[in-house]
């Protein structure tokens, strides 16, 4: 039986696997499982609260900011990814609140890791009690 292919527009046999069909990437099992844990959900909320529910790149007017006080589509970015260092997955000094646009830029290293780390240090310093003791 012939069928119109939604990937290339050509007519193929129903059983033909079109080379234009995108392959689905399977997420890293450990990382995917971690993102569903209560520990991550709690930590993610803590970091957003620390960062005042604002994208920390936007508020600094960096990397093509469109809206300086942006609290939309927020997520928490790992400066050192889960794949690079799973042990730092819940460390405050490895996490920063970003909007979806800037998070994608950070993942692609368009926003360099050293800039992300610098902003995290600023956030950690700003929120540490006087005398430097936690």
pLDDT tens sequence across 32-89: 889 889 999 999 999 999 999 999 999 999 998 888 899 999 999 999 999 899 999 9
How far CA 57 is from CA of 29, 63, 106, 110, 113, in Å, comes to 29, 7, 10, 12, 13
Q: For residue 71, what are its two tokens?
A: 């609290």
Total length of the chain: 134
Averaged confidence pLDDT in the chain: 89
Cα diameter, the chain: 76
Please check the confidence at residue 100 and state whether its pLDDT lies above 90.
Answer: yes
What pLDDT score was predicted for residue 134? 47
Give the side-chain half-sphere CA count within 13 A for 125. Answer: 6
Q: Are the C-beta atoms of 106 and 116 separated by less than 8 Å?
A: yes
Helix (H) or strand (E) holding 99: strand 95-99
Q: Label residue 74 left, alpha or beta by phi (over 0 means left) and psi (-120 to 50 means alpha).
A: beta
What pLDDT score was predicted for residue 40? 95
User: Angle CA(102)–CA(110)–CA(42) in degrees, nearest 5?
Assistant: 40
């Amino acid at each position: 039986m012939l069928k119109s292919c939604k990937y290339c527009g050509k007519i193929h046999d129903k059983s033909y696997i079109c080379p234009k069909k995108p392959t689905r990437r399977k997420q890293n099992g450990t990382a995917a499982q971690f993102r569903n844990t209560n520990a991550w959900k709690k930590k993610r909320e803590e970091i957003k609260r620390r960062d005042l529910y604002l994208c920390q790149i936007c508020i600094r007017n960096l990397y093509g900011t469109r809206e300086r006080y942006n609290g939309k589509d927020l997520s928490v970015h790992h400066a050192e990814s889960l794949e690079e260092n799973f042990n730092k997955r819940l460390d405050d000094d490895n996490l920063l609140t970003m909007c979806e646009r800037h998070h994608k830029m950070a993942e692609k290293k368009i926003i360099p890791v050293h800039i992300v780390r610098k902003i995290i240090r600023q956030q950690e310093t700003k929120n540490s009690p006087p005398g430097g003791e936690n």
